[in-house]
Chain A
Amino acid sequence: MIKRILALWHARNLEFVRDRASLSWNLIFPLLLVVGFSFAFGNANQAQYKVGITNADVEAPWLSKFQHTNYIEFIRYDDQTIALTKLRQHQLDLVITQSEPQYWLNKLSAKGYLLEKILHAQVDVPLKLQQVSGESIRYVDWVLPGILGMNMMFSGLFGIGYVIVRYRKNGVLKRLKATPLSASEFIVSQILSRMFIQLITSMFIAFSCIYFLDLKMNGSFLLLFLMMLCGSLALISVGLMMASRCQSEEFAGALLNMASWPMMFLSGVWFSLDSAHPLLQQVANLLPLTHLVAGMRSIMLDGADLTQLLPNIGALLAIALVCITISASRFSWGEN
């Protein structure tokens, strides 16, 4: 059984490596994106002021005047530590709690300094100040995990889904079915081959960006690898599930696009969903890419440890388990 899986794994790897066009696309496209962003957004920050509000359910009449200031976006946080982390990374300019007249400021942030002046002008009660400090995070640092994740998503969905549907349509699957190979051996070999390819290309892209473009890496590479492993498995399983019965490449393409585009915009690849509608955030939590990007981001930006990553890892493994179970039970070798 292992011999059969390895043989098919090897054959699929050869196919991928010899397909120069898709190999280079998988490596070069994400690198170009990151390089592009590092020039475009290298030092710029978004112009808008962002204020984090904690304990938002407590009435705070003293704050209402400030809250009606134009050009300031107020974002509610249930967890004060998350808000403070964002403040340290300059993703928020100021944090205020409504439970008592108190605010936090990053002493290295110019926008925070200006916001403080506005705050004092519009609040009559005395306010308690606490300072935090931290270097700002450039957009390109923030977006790198997103691009890595997005690349893995496309390669997982299309590299598995499309290829299996093509195999089914042109008879490769039928020929394999006529051998002693079982459906689960076939599925495992395809998953392993794609994971192997994804992990190598993604780690290569991450290394290149971190060392040559000097992007942020505050956490451990081992954890990053683990996170990629789980994400890769989950995304591939989704692709596999969609391709498990599909007979036509067009239909598979439509299904895969239907899965990939929402993830592209709802999984926090390009912009943070912190200020999005709660319902949208719940939808986003069902998407594997959300957990992969969030996990990689907290490793690379905040140096998160394993325990902090467990919720994301758990979600990814659960998605993978569900999708693989469905694929294995629904898998069809061909038209019949």
Chain B
Amino acid sequence: MSKVILSVSRLVKKYPEVLAVNGLSFDVYEGECFGLLGPNGAGKSTTIEILENVINADSGEVLYQGLPRDKNFAQQIGIQFQNTALQDFLTVSDTLRLFRSLYDNPVPLSQLIESCALEGLLHRDNRKLSGGQRQRLLLALALINDPKVLFLDEPTTGLDPQARRNFWQLIERQKSHGKTIILTTHYMDEAEVLCDRIAIVDRGKIIALGAPSQLLRQHLPGMIVRLPKTAIGDPEFLNFKINFTQFFIEIITENVEAVVAQLLAHKIPINDLTIKAPTLEDLFIKLTGHALRE
């Protein structure tokens, strides 16, 4: 891939109660979409805010294009925070105008409206926007200075499936314009759709780093055969590696036929059997030993 745009090494951030970030190191390449994945409280937001230069790390280093970040950094990046209130009583168009005048070289208003699908919302009060509309306005604010790097902190949390898919399209469009995107999410499907590379973060540490498909091949080769626990009594007769979840048993195998043949040979009903490719969620559970949204 192309050259490194952001380089992060040995980042540490302590809060009075918790060690939020515990020695993170990774590189982000120009033009890629890099995802920080992890459960709530894993340290994703703290990490991304350190990268944005909004909060300071206790120790560690962040280099932008090989150099420490200077005053100019703020003009080169766009940020969408996780929880941002906007001024009450201002309309979408007032808000865009306000933020445009805070930057030296803002993107034309018409371009922002077009790229974030804000047509028809311009005269609406900020408080009367739906979740998806709000996130689109916040994305427009992040894009106002035509940034090189776009930071998105859980951009689709709380949106309905339709709105999430619409938002993904907008982000795909920014990717195709060559922007580097760094996003945090706890939705694995979002990361699979959008991210070129991901870092799975748990308790302030990176536990896996790479392209989603490569990580899956590496840690979960094969397919998952899943059966309800009720369908199978004592699974010990199966000589495969078995995972137990709350309601299911899961057999991870590269030879699905052999598994099914063995189940049939033991007269196990296979009406409720499912076979699926492993997802990032399965990977996460395997790596951390606990479910993602706990």
Contacts and interface: CB of A to CB of B under 8 A. Distances in A.
A68 interface: no
Contacts of B85: 167, 170-172
A76 B99 CA distance: 59
A172 B102 contact: no
B75 interface: yes
Contacts of A175: 79, 81, 84, 86, 141
B15 to A, nearest CB: 10
Contact of B75 (A10, A19, A176, A180): A180
Contacts of B214: none
Interface residues of B, number: 25
- Overall SS of chain B's interface: loop
A180 B103 contact: yes
Nearest to A178: B79
Interface stretch (B33-41, B88-96, B154-162): B88-96
Contact of A172 (B75, B84, B101, B103): B84
B88 A19 contact: yes
B102 A7 contact: yes
Nearest to A11: B98
Contacts of A111: none
A201 B104 CA distance: 34
A172 B87 contact: yes
B89 A18 contact: yes
Contacts of A170: 83, 85
Interface in B85-137: 85-90, 94, 97-99, 101-104
Contacts of A3: 101
B74 A171 contact: no
- Overall SS of chain A's interface: helix
Interface in A150-178: 167, 170-172, 174-178
Contacts of A11: 87, 90, 94, 98
A171 to B, nearest CB: 5
A42 to B, nearest CB: 39
A18 B54 CA distance: 31
B109 to A, nearest CB: 14
Nearest to B83: A171
B103 A15 contact: no
B74 A15 contact: no
Contacts of A7: 97-98, 101-102
Contact of A15 (B52, B90, B102): B90
Contacts of B54: 174, 177-178
B94 A14 contact: yes
B90 A178 contact: no
Given A14-B89, A19-B89, A174 B97 contact: no
Given A14-B94, A15-B88, A19-B89, A180 B104 contact: yes
B256 interface: no
Most buried by B among A10, A11, A14, A176: A11
Contacts of A179: 74, 99, 102-103
A120 interface: no
Contacts of A12: 87
B55 interface: yes
A4 B102 contact: yes
Nearest to A175: B84
Interface in A1-35: 3-4, 6-8, 10-12, 14-15, 18-19
A174 B88 contact: no
A15 B87 contact: yes
A206 to B, nearest CB: 27
Contacts of B74: 178-180
Interface in A213-254: none
Nearest to A333: B54
Most buried by B among A170, A177, A179: A179
Contacts of A114: none
A19 B74 CA distance: 32
A181 interface: yes
A177 B94 CA distance: 18
A171 B99 CA distance: 15
A336 interface: yes
A11 B126 CA distance: 13
5 contacts: A4-B102, A12-B87, A14-B89, A176-B102, A179-B102
A-B CB proximity, top 8 nearest? A170-B85, A7-B101, A18-B89, A179-B102, A15-B89, A11-B98, A178-B79, A171-B84
Interface of A: 3-4, 6-8, 10-12, 14-15, 18-19, 167, 170-172, 174-181, 336
Interface of B: 52, 54-56, 74-75, 79, 81, 83-90, 94, 97-99, 101-104, 141
